[in-house]
A and B are shown apart, each in its own frame.
Chain A
Amino acid sequence: MQVQSHYSDLLVIGAGLSGERAAAEAAAKGFSVIVLSIVPARRSHSSAAQGGMQASLGNSVMGEGDSPDVHFADTVKGSDWGCDQECARLFANGAPIEMRRLAAWGVPWNRVVAGRSVYFKGGEKFEKEEKKEKEGLITARAFGGTAKWRTCYTSDGTGHAVMCTMDNRCAELGITVLDRKDAVALIHDGMACTGAVVRCMRTGVLEEFRAKATVIATGGLGRLYKATTNAVICDGGGHIIALDTGVAPIGNPEAIQFHPTGIVPTDILVTEGCRGDGGTLLDVDQKRFMHIYEPEKAELASRDVVSRRMTEHMLAGKGVPSPYGEHLWLDIRHLGDRHISTKLREVDEICRHFLGVDPRKQLIPVRPTQHYAMAGIRTNKDGAVYGLKGLFSVGEAACWDMHGFNRLGGNSLAETVVAGGIVGAKIVEFLQGNEVAFSTAHARDALRKTEERVNSVATCANGRENVYAVREEMQQALMDGCFVFRNEADLQQCVARLQKTLDRARRVGLVSDGKGVCHELYSALRIEGQVKLALMIAKGALERKESRGSHNREDYSARDDKDWLNRTLAYWREGADMPELLYEDASPVFELPPGERGYGGGRIIPADPAWVAARTIK
């Protein structure tokens, strides 16, 4: 078979914000770059982020006194000390600079308007006065888990607006951005990665893309869960091609975030900006409850805490019954027509189009829903993936690890561009310092294996399991055993169920003929890897016998810094039926030694003070 072969210095898999930001960095330095995406770049899930990007510019009066140090501390507390503090520091320092760079490239950030205006907090009205000397600078709004108003935004379409600018920047730099390309395997020799085997989603034909450096920037894995706010493309595709190599680990697979406000049904996200702008959560009696659990932060505690408190409150019989299960209410009625029509317009549209609800007059049905993976392909602070030279990862797909066990709202959207720039610069260094020998044998090998997989599912050589039925079983297993609250018995059952599902996934065969643009084939090529990834999540959660951030164990409710101040590294070795779990220290150094978050409660089993002191830096 004649195979179309492409070559570039850098191959970027995923054209969302982090992928395009890294691509722009390399292209600006004169390297040839090809970016691949399942969908046209601007349809990437980055564009769905409504709220904003955290950066300590401190221009708004409500952000006065903010600095990268305060942002860093919020991020580390948010992570429940699970993050790599070196990465959190790089991020906090880089964020304000990156916001200004984006402003120069074309993002229409909302700006400071001098004078008095009102805002809401916890349903109450307050007044603030913005300063004349700050007028016209980039402004910010409040988000959960932050000491200051720090979230830069453009209306409630921040992700969309920044995505437009970033993709414009790539067009300006002449970067080749190809859509409807699905990377299905990496080309590697167990030591180094030299590109990917790609299925064209216009024709169904396999192609090879070879490159000196490859970046996986494919976003999240929410579609492993039945109820997720994620787009249908966030199905763990990038994680799968990494774990399939057998040498690249998934970091903290058990660290999955549930967003407090997915709407019921359809699970579409309404932004944290609703609560940041003063929206409240109500129960079946239409009464506020968050302030009872969290007197200080109330609705604005971090996401893991709000999701946990909501679940607790529903378990206490205060949920609102519905044909789709219990939920609670989000109330933004008091924010008024003008605020909802301008600052929360997407929310207004979502309520009207998908619920038939007018949020000026009616309550919005919400409940915790899978939202974000702190879990990801483990990299070092340069974005280089453990185990394979020339392979990088960035954005939600990566576990660079500034988020640890919980990431703050507005920190991941900012991470895409800040880390995208940092990792992009490190890739440039790599390209400048390395020559690569391409082996035709490894490329041919990867291609042949992929062809065999395609043929075996298309001809039902291994069985006739229905891919959609297998996927449903996997999603349900995670919902039942590995959601907001976790315990030994449910997790053990979840793992056992997923082991059976893995066996079924290996026997999937197509109903359709698999020719051309075949979505069933797309799903079938992913399913085995998805179940492996699900097993990593469940097994990681089963073994982690503590509660930290979004990982809540009913049977181990304390945060155990003595034994679990570490990061899970999950490998799927060749020919194995279960993941292998190894552990590394959460952070090589502490700028902020482990302590209280100030919200969320819970007991802490302290680490050995001498050990902490030895790694604490000024």
Chain B
Amino acid sequence: MGRNIHFEIFRYNPQDTASIPRMQTYFLEETINMTLFIALTRLREEQDPSLVFDFCCRAGICGSCAMVINGRPGLACQTQIKNMPGHISLHPLPVFKIIGDLSVDTGVWFREMYRKTESWIHTRAEVDPTLEEARMDNAVAEEIYELERCIECGCCIAACGTANLRPDFMGAAALNRIARFMIDPRDERSEREYFDIIGTDFGIFGCMGLLACEDVCPKQLPLQDQLGFLRRKMGFAALRQIFKTSRPA
């Protein structure tokens, strides 16, 4: 027989004016290879169908199920109960708007991020796809994919000191997105254009370097390196601009 796991789960329904944020207690017997996906699904189906949380792929690929697990942002589907103490507390991610209980609105946040970063290839080239494709070094393709692995779960934003203080801070996910396009030879944006997007306190210069983003990233993206890379690049860009504007006309 497995352990009797004690869950404490944050409950709040913003649609219901009578709802007050609170913690609710549940118990569930542990079974072999149980993950938080299995546990929460069972709680909803066997004990409390009003419980709100998000799962989609349940395989650590889609990023739907990020939540604060015993004080740390992470993916619930990848969390194995056997690696956890017998008392598990679950909260929704901070920073994002709450939808209900453990579910937060990452969708709207990230769509706004695509708009802010102009998260697409900027090019004047007219490509005829019936002709042979432009060549690319395989190593470059792999480097781009390395940064494209972000699953937009929101853990890095929830764990970020700056984002928790200032809701308009872009956060590691957005800065990583910019880095992804900067190293892509197909994107023709100039340093100046990138600077206009992230060269502020809401962008790269707002980062306090606490680096919780990298610690909690479930995909182990090299966020520390990317933030360093962008800070150096944008720092030099700023100096060049100061130098240019202070030059006599």
Contacts and interface: CB of A to CB of B under 8 A. Distances in A.
B133 A104 contact: yes
B60 interface: yes
B100 to A, nearest CB: 5
A516 B145 contact: no
Contacts of B52: 517-519
B185 to A, nearest CB: 11
Q: Is the interface of B mostly helix, strand, loop or mixed?
A: loop
B110 A40 contact: yes
Contacts of A269: 59
B134 interface: yes
Contacts of B35: 266, 354
Interface stretch (A67-75, A166-174, A368-376): A166-174
13 contacts: A39-B107, A43-B63, A43-B152, A103-B133, A108-B142, A108-B145, A110-B141, A112-B138, A161-B145, A171-B114, A179-B108, A231-B57, A354-B33
A468 B51 CA distance: 14
Contact of B141 (A111, A135, A323): A111
B238 interface: no
A463 to B, nearest CB: 16
A516 B100 contact: yes
B45 interface: yes
A356 B120 contact: no
B15 A232 contact: no
Interface stretch (B85-93, B124-132, B198-206): B124-132
Interface in B34-48: 35, 38, 44-46, 48
A354 B148 contact: no
A155 B120 contact: no
Nearest to B130: A97
Contacts of A103: 133-134, 136
A589 interface: no
B52 to A, nearest CB: 5
A67 to B, nearest CB: 15
A516 B152 contact: no
B59 A48 contact: yes
B121 A105 contact: yes
Contacts of A109: 136, 141
A531 B35 CA distance: 28
B129 A515 contact: no
A410 interface: no
A171 B62 contact: no
B120 A168 contact: yes
Interface in B1-38: 13, 15-16, 32-33, 35, 38
Interface string A126-170: 000000000111110000000000000011010011001001110
Contact of A266 (B15, B33, B136): B33
A354 B59 contact: yes
A559 interface: no
A415 to B, nearest CB: 17
A113 interface: yes
Contacts, number: 196
A439 interface: no
B45 A157 contact: no
Nearest to B138: A111
A407 interface: no
A45 B100 CA distance: 23
Interface of A: 39-40, 42-45, 47-48, 97-101, 103-106, 108-113, 135-139, 154-155, 157, 160-161, 164, 167-169, 171-172, 177, 179-180, 202-204, 231-233, 265-266, 268-269, 323, 342, 346, 349-350, 353-356, 468, 510-513, 515-520
CB-CB nearest 6 A-B residue pairs? A136-B135, A516-B15, A40-B107, A104-B127, A520-B49, A179-B107
B103 to A, nearest CB: 7
A230 B33 CA distance: 19
Nearest to B184: A106
A136 B57 CA distance: 33
A160 B54 CA distance: 19
Contact of B120 (A172, A231, A232, A354): A172
Contacts of B78: 353-354
A135 B127 contact: no
Contacts of B45: 468
Nearest to A205: B15
Q: Which of B108, B135, B184 has the most CB of A within 10 A?
A: B135
B56 interface: yes
A146 to B, nearest CB: 21
Interface in B106-127: 106-108, 110-111, 114-115, 118-121, 123, 125, 127
A43 B56 contact: yes
A203 B52 CA distance: 12
B195 to A, nearest CB: 21
A164 B148 contact: yes
Given A231-B56, A516-B100, A154 B64 contact: no
Given A177-B111, A355-B33, A468-B45, A136 B138 contact: yes
B231 interface: no
Given A160-B149, A513-B50, A45 B57 contact: yes
